[in-house]
Structure 1
Amino acid sequence: MPDNQRDATQELKNELALGYRAMAFNGLGLGLLAHLTARLPGSDTYWTYQIGQSVEEVTVSDLAECTMDTKPLIEGKRINPSILCHGDVYKARPDVTCILHHHSKASIAMGAIGANVQPYDRNSGRWHDEIAIVEDFDAPEIHNQGGSMVDALGSGKALILKHHGVLVTGRSVRDAVVAAAELDRVMEVQLMAMAAGKIDLMPQEEIDDCKKFLASDMFADGTWNWYLRSMERSGLSDGALT
């Protein structure tokens, strides 16, 4: 492997391991209820953690590289078969280099009532026309629905998996993780607003304006760096890069 590719791979693995810890920092995926994968741009393989770990436990040495159909490149690495749909998304979307899935309370509640995110403030406006709802989602052992997920996702950013949480894509690990955390807060606030009364929606001009910053690398990078500082202070990132 050329030195530049080796360096890029190591950088990806480091950010992926920290991405798992950042999920824990945001209360996403504790236990065994989440998946986070990432690949180098243009690669036909991707990296993930091994089945049986919780996100706050993952280290670089735990990461495993697999093919698009979840076959590990190193024998003995245990890949969760539930990430089979990630390969389908990667093959269909060259722009996507990271995929995150979790089952938070807010995402499950939104899926349970078949509700999509509405543009009620700047943070929610960032998601306008970026999320589709998949009406059904089965375990891949029964029937892989990667194709229907790809069709529903289109060129969008995320899916609400009815009965099964959310799937968020990213142009990088930090983009996917920050977006997923922000989306979860947006869903939680919307559920509170829906319970309280009628939601007043933002005008299109304001939606267009908020997307410029909240969907930008500047926002993702700044928020990610705050995660790293916060995790270091709390000890949550300890051992991640080992």
Structure 2
Amino acid sequence: MADGTRSDSIAALRRDLAAAYRLIALHGMDDGIYTHISARLPDGLEGETRFLLNPYGLRFDEVTAGNLVTIDETGVVIDDPYGAGVNAAGFTIHSAVHMARHDAVCVLHTHTVAGVAVSSVEEGLLPLNQWSAQFHDRIAFHDYEGIALNLAERERIVADLGEKQVMLLRNHGTLVLGRSVAEAVKLALNLERSCKAQVAALSMGLTPVVMPEAVAEHTARQYAEAYDSIERNGRSDSEWQAYLRRLDAIAPEYRR
């Protein structure tokens, strides 16, 4: 890749990741200064895995393209414009995935009320509606081991995740992988809607209607084909462009 093209690609990645932080905050899915969204950079000159993470201590609505921190797979900070380092628990989870899943450009982790609620029940997410059918039989599970500070947990996270793009971290929250930042954000927003809808439906005290297996699987494949048409076939992502226009109108400083 030519230096100019590489620089443009990295600049676009930083912009998209900053947008992801702002969008997650805008949808009320952040958790103070905790949880993280990471993006994998092109490998370093020695082949080392490098990725971008938010500066520790900043709210999601304070993250910009220019203050993102670059770290490697060992936790060494390569570039830290803000000067506060990164959260150790964020490094544990995100480095585990980026080291094992090179298809994952972006890893997005949240602690929303609805996501934590669904992660805390044995059944997990049920195919109760079109949103949740997208994830039918496509969710991995990882049992809670405490705050993710033990690097040995990385192997278990990766083993439990397997080849899936979505994981429920039991009693903890959600984890989403995207082949692009845009895909990760869209998956995370749909997962959050699904969890909210399940909590709302089951709270009514009426009888939930669970989709038949065949219908849920058919719907999941329809969603997958739509995502593949963008990520594999290069179709324009009009939904992501709409999200960026919204941010450009209300918080254009995310690009700085």
CA contact (8 A) 1:120 1:201 kept: yes
CA-to-partner distance for each residue in 1:111-164, whole Å, 9 max, x for gaps? 222332122222211101211221213223356422111111101111111121
Q: Secondary structure at the match of 1:87?
A: helix
Deviation, structure 1 residue 174: 0.7
* In 2: Cα distance, 1:210 partner to 1:65 partner: 35
For residue 71 of structure 2, the aligned residue among 62, 66, 72 is 66
SS at match of 2:79: coil
Alignment identity in percent? Answer: 27
Alignment check: 8 A CA contact 2:19 2:247 kept: no
Secondary structure of the residue aligned to 1:73 is strand
Q: Distance in 2 between matches of 1:157 and 1:217?
A: 13
Residue ranges of structure 2 left out of the alignment (5+ in a row): 232-236
2:61 aligned residue:
56
**Partner of residue 135, structure 1:** 143
Q: Could you give the per-residue CA deviations for residues 47-90 of structure 1, whole angstroms, max 9, x where no partner exists? A: 11110011111011211110013211136550211122211111
- Structure 1 residue 231: Cα displacement: 2.8
- 2:245 pairs with 1:229: yes
Q: Distance in 1 between matches of 2:31 and 2:144?
A: 24
Q: Which runs of 4+ in 1 moved over 4 A?
A: 217-220
Counterpart residue type for residue 153 of structure 1? L
Where 1:100 maps in the other structure, the secondary structure is strand
CA contact (8 A) 1:213 1:219 kept: no
Which AA in structure 1 matches 2:227? S
Q: What is the aligned partner in structure 2 of residue 124 from structure 1?
A: 132
- How far apart are residue 194 of structure 1 and its match? 2.4
- Report how many residues are paired: 240
Correspondences of 1:1-242 after superposition (within 5 Å): 2-40=3-41, 44-74=49-79, 76=83, 78-83=85-90, 84-142=92-150, 144-195=152-203, 196-205=206-215, 207-213=217-223, 216=227, 221-233=237-249, 235=250, 237-242=251-256
Return the alpha-carbon distance in structure 1 between the equivalents of residues 3 and 227 of structure 2.
Answer: 31
- Structure 1 residues 119, 71: CA separation in 2 closer, same or farther (over 3 Å shift)? same
**2:211, 2:154 → 1: CA distance?**
32
Asked if structure 2 preserves the Cα contact closer than 8 Å seen for 1:70 and 1:79, the reply is: no
Post-superposition offset of 1:232: 3.3
> Which residues of structure 1 form unaligned runs of 5+?
none
Residue identity opposite 2:217 in structure 1: I
For the residue of structure 1 that corresponds to 2:66, the secondary structure is: helix
Are the equivalent residues in 1 in contact too, given 2:56–2:84 (CA < 8 A)?
Answer: no
Q: What is the DSSP-based 3-state SS (H/G/I as helix, E as strand, rest coil) of the residue aligned with 1:146?
A: helix
Q: Is the Cα contact below 8 Å between 2:116 and 2:172 reproduced in 1?
A: yes
What is the distance in 2 between the residues matched to 1:217 and 1:24?
Answer: 27
Given residue 238 of structure 1, which amino acid in structure 2 is its aligned partner?
A: P
Q: Indicate conservation of the 8 Å contact 2:70/2:78, yes or no.
A: yes
Q: CA deviation at 1:5?
A: 1.6
Secondary structure, counterpart of 2:36 in structure 1? strand
